[in-house]
Structure 1
Amino acid sequence: MDGRAAAPGAGTVVNALATGRGAAFAVDLETTATVMLDPDADEVTGEIAGAPDGDTRLIERCVERVVDRFGTGEGGHVRTDSEVPTAAGLKSSSAAANATVLATLSALGVEAANDPDADVTKTEACRVGVRAARDAGVTVTGAFDDASASMLGGVTVTDNTNDELLHRDDPFATHALVWTPPERAYSADADVSACERVAPMATLATDLALDGDYGRAMTVNGLAFSAALGFPTDPAVEAMADCDGVSLSGTGPSVVAVGDRADLKAVRRLWDDRDGETRLVETRETGARML
């Protein structure tokens, strides 16, 4: 009873910490999960490639939740391998959860698709991972915005207070430039009260996103949340003249700019002078998939 699946990371359009509403878009950095179920095993164990001491509670809980609903009590083992850096604001937890949920469904022979006639829709499969993330304590909001963008692809706008998908659209830019400084920031450690103080700007950004003005929504969000969470706004200011939108991604520390590849090269020349790593990636219309 084996299954494999992959899910992309994502960048932030609107951070949901202030109001419960958020938006995100998929980027072409993937996490792959391999799940091996055993009817005779009495527990689920996890492994993260390249991180022997990594926290495996999330991926283990994803397997357990899928088995509780669709299986017959199987245990087993899950391993993830990822291009998405952890604790960098690029939705590594959402990608891992989505890949693990789909891999477990695959191992059980359960179809997950956008087709309403499928055994389980991808949106509902996404909610399984979101609930597992809450169980594991790796998220404050449940991160349905991040998880839905990873699972469905494109850009999604959500209400995380009740895991409701408000809107989904195709990618609004072809490329994204990601700058990730050396430090890391864990979503569960974010200062929620500081974020709530920028709720008026978050509401404005959400309204822009619901109107399809994703680039300006990103920029409004990025300036507000960088200030609230104590990150510098200099990288965003450097990028504004040469991109469609730029934002702190998640609770940081990564900053993501979107636009045409040629325009983003000018931004990259500036960001390459900063400590850390700069990557030019494509946005994704497709989301998570079974392999």
Structure 2
Amino acid sequence: MDGRAVALGAGTVLNALATGVGSAFALDVETSATVELDDSTELRGEVDGAPDADTRLIERCVELTVERYGASDVAGGWVRTESEVPMAAGLKSSSAAANATVLATLSALSIDVVDDRPGDEHAGRAGDDTPSDAVSRLDACRLGVAAARDTGVAVTGAFDDASASMLGGVTLTDNTADELRSRVERDWDALVWTPPERAYSADADVSRCERVAPMARLVADLAEQGRYAEAMTVNGLAFSAALGFPTEPAVEAMPHAAGVSLSGTGPSVVAVGERHELETVAAMWDERDGTTRLTTTRTDGARVL
């Protein structure tokens, strides 16, 4: 019993740590997962290129999926992830790994995944039209979020990040209820600068983030109006201050980008806009330590291979 799937990294419109409401958008960077299930009692996890990596999240994703949808004689196996998304860089590597692992496990169990991606309409849990022998994308996403909470990878469970990774496009969510408020499709070019340091979401100072809740509510209002690029710029300035990251990269990008923000709890900064303008920003960010990647947004989301 084996399966393989890929999910996307993402950038931030609104960090959910202040109010529980978050927003994110999918990027053209992928994480793949391969799952093999058997009747052994051992579950082994591996991260390609990182032999000492913590594999509890992907192992828990397999466990939860098998517990909910698997056969009684399936108790062990093997899961391996490979990723273009740098870990602990604010680009949703954990959400991408969790989504890919859940989908790969469902594939290994021969369970179909229903494409329930909404457009601009509000969307909640899967409705009565979902076949009884299938799983909706949103409910598959929620399994990964549950695994993130179980293993302490994310403070809020990161349903905003996970939904963007799973569904593609730009999502707005209530992370306290794991509910999707809206999803829209935006075709942007995107520029990502990732400095050498790393920042783990679980280590973020939540109390400092809660102090910028008034700004987070403003960002949510802008996002609900469809003003995502403006929203992410306000978010980036507020959360850079709260989490102690420099604002200079964002200030450099502002004359050229439609929007720019600290992504997640950092340290990466993501700008969106027109490609020729982002190339100007890339020339400035290339002068900084770290790596710069010019890419695009994605609207297709995660998929089984």
- Return the alpha-carbon distance in structure 2 between the equivalents of residues 61 and 47 of structure 1: 13
Tell me what 1:42 maps to. 41
Superposed displacement of residue 260, structure 1: 1.1
Tell me what 1:277 maps to. 291
User: Counterparts of 1:155-234 in structure 2 under 5 Å?
Assistant: 155-171=170-186, 173-234=187-248
Equivalent residue letter for 1:122 = R
| Unpaired segments ≥5 residues, structure 1 | none
Superposed displacement of residue 148, structure 1: 0.1
Single out whichever of 66-75 and 140-149 deviates more from structure 2. Answer: 66-75
Superposed displacement of residue 91, structure 1: 0.1
- Return the alpha-carbon distance in structure 2 between the equivalents of residues 86 and 211 of structure 1: 32
The correspondence for 1:142, drawn from 152, 157, 182, is: 157
Write the deviation string for residues 193-240 of structure 1: whole angstroms up to 9, x where unpaired.
000000000000011011100000000000000000000000000000
- The SS at the match of 1:86 is coil
- Return the alpha-carbon distance in structure 2 between the equivalents of residues 241 and 86 of structure 1: 29
Tell me what 1:52 maps to. 51
- Return the alpha-carbon distance in structure 2 between the equivalents of residues 31 and 78 of structure 1: 13
Give the percent of matched residue pairs that are identical in Structure 1 and Structure 2.
71
- Return the alpha-carbon distance in structure 1 between the equivalents of residues 196 and 43 of structure 2: 33
- The SS at the match of 1:76 is strand
Write the deviation string for residues 92-128 of structure 1: whole angstroms up to 9, x where unpaired.
0000000000000000000112255341100010000
Write the deviation string for residues 173-193 of structure 1: whole angstroms up to 9, x where unpaired.
421100000000000000000
- TM-score, normalised by the number of residues in structure 2: 0.94
The correspondence for 2:167, drawn from 148, 152, 158, is: 152
Structure 1 segments (4+ residues) deviating >2 Å: 115-118
Single out whichever of 47-56 and 66-75 deviates more from structure 2. Answer: 66-75
- TM-score, normalised by the number of residues in structure 1: 0.98
Alignment of 1:247 with 2:261, yes or no, is: yes
- Return the alpha-carbon distance in structure 1 between the equivalents of residues 274 and 299 of structure 2: 16
Tell me what 1:100 maps to. 101
User: Counterparts of 1:111-122 in structure 2 under 5 Å?
Assistant: 111-115=112-116, 116-118=129-131, 119-122=134-137
Alignment of 1:19 with 2:19, yes or no, is: yes
- Return the alpha-carbon distance in structure 1 between the equivalents of residues 169 and 147 of structure 2: 23
- Return the alpha-carbon distance in structure 2 between the equivalents of residues 107 and 168 of structure 1: 29
Equivalent residue letter for 2:23 = A
- Return the alpha-carbon distance in structure 1 between the equivalents of residues 21 and 42 of structure 2: 36
- Cα RMSD after superposing both structures: 0.8
- Return the alpha-carbon distance in structure 1 between the equivalents of residues 16 and 43 of structure 2: 31
- Return the alpha-carbon distance in structure 2 between the equivalents of residues 158 and 43 of structure 1: 35
Write the deviation string for residues 118-177 of structure 1: whole angstroms up to 9, x where unpaired.
411000100000000001110001100000000000000000001010000002x42110
Tell me what 1:4 maps to. 4
Tell me what 2:63 maps to. 64
- Return the alpha-carbon distance in structure 2 between the equivalents of residues 130 and 220 of structure 1: 26
- Return the alpha-carbon distance in structure 2 between the equivalents of residues 89 and 24 of structure 1: 11
Number of matched residues?
A: 289
- Return the alpha-carbon distance in structure 1 between the equivalents of residues 150 and 240 of structure 2: 28
| Unpaired segments ≥5 residues, structure 2 | 117-128
- Return the alpha-carbon distance in structure 2 between the equivalents of residues 240 and 271 of structure 1: 13
- Return the alpha-carbon distance in structure 1 between the equivalents of residues 252 and 159 of structure 2: 30
Superposed displacement of residue 43, structure 1: 2.5
